[in-house]
Amino acid sequence: MITSSKHSGERNGGCRRCRIIRLYIIATVSIVILGLIGGDKLRFLSLVTPEGVAMTIWGVGTLFFIGKFSVWLFQKAKSKKQN
């Protein structure tokens, strides 16, 4: 296994890339199983559209950016006062 860590046999199992791939595969299989089992009972999922998910990601990303940027400005102003 190719990892950025020089230690083998870590408890959390594998590198970050491997964990992300595992989570993706688990999520995909779960969605397929849910679709096969649920059938018509999952009509409410039609409300979730790719555009809605994209807008949510953009909105959350914008909020995080504004928050991190304001924290950075605050820390920069604070460090100027101390000097």
The DSSP-derived string for 12-50 is T-S-HHHHHHHHHHHHHHHHHHHHHHHGGGGGGGGG--H
pLDDT in tens, 12-65: 667 888 989 999 999 999 988 888 888 777 777 778 888 999 999 999 999 999
Query: Is the pTM here over 0.75, yes or no?
Result: no
